[in-house]
Amino acid sequence: MNEVVKCECGLRYVPGIERNEVLHAEHHDKWVNGQPVPFSPYERVIGSIEGRDVLESSMDLPQSYRIELANVAMLACQETPFKAGYDGSDEDIDLDARAYILREKGRGVGLIILRRRDRFWSFLWDNNGKENIYSHSTFFEVERWVVERIWVVSRLRKQHFAQRLVSMVADHLKNGIGELGWELPLTDSGRHLVRSVCPHGFWGTGDAFSIYGYEKNQKI
């Protein structure tokens, strides 16, 4: 009897069984090369990073096209502990949800999801690289863009594409990186990214448990 194996792409499957092999090949291809992204007359390119276009998905574009782009978020969801966070559907217009897709050779290889929020806590960094709350009792009600999710395919992660994607999107939104908010809790890679682009501290937002209980909750 064939044993279940786990590939580096994260998929568990049984080698030698045709259906399993096909599913694994499809998943592995997306893990390496990204989610196929359709070329469309509606697409809005805000810039490029080393020849890779950055596409904007916002509520003023046709819903059918936004849903196609949202498949990149579903792929990203498979590699993160969070839900996709963006499905391309109509949402509360006040939140102004937007997604930015890094496209390489017709594939979505990077993603950043943002929304507008108006409640934040100020965080500083300690010497161990973990975030410290500036004040447990103070929050700031200033509307700003919040980075809810950011992801790039594994082969690009050591080439600083996430940092460059954040920088390009911040410039496009006429926002300094230091003025962006960040959804809590942070993953280990998320903490590393935020510290690299906000070395002096950052604005965090999220539910009360993730803010006040973060030292006990090792997910961030």
d(CA 72, CA 99) in angstroms, rounded, equals 10
CB–CB of 11/23 below 8 Å? yes
Q: Is 182 helix (H, G, I), strand (E, B) or coil?
A: strand
| Yes or no: domain 36-212 corresponds to CATH 3.40.630 | yes
Sorted by where each begins, the domain ranges of the chain are 1-33, 36-212
Cα 204 to chain center, whole Å? 15
User: What pLDDT shows up at residue 43?
Assistant: 92
Residue ranges in the chain whose pLDDT is less than 50: 214-220
Mean pLDDT for all residues in the chain: 83
Global pTM exceeds 0.85: no
DSSP state of 128: T
pLDDT digits (tens, 9 = 90+) for 7-27: 888 788 888 888 888 988 988
**pLDDT at residue 220, rounded to an integer:** 32
Q: What pLDDT score does 217 carry?
A: 41
Q: What secondary structure does DSSP assign to 39-83, as a single string?
A: --TT--EEEEETTEEEEEE-TTS-HHHHHHHHHHHHHHHTTSSS-
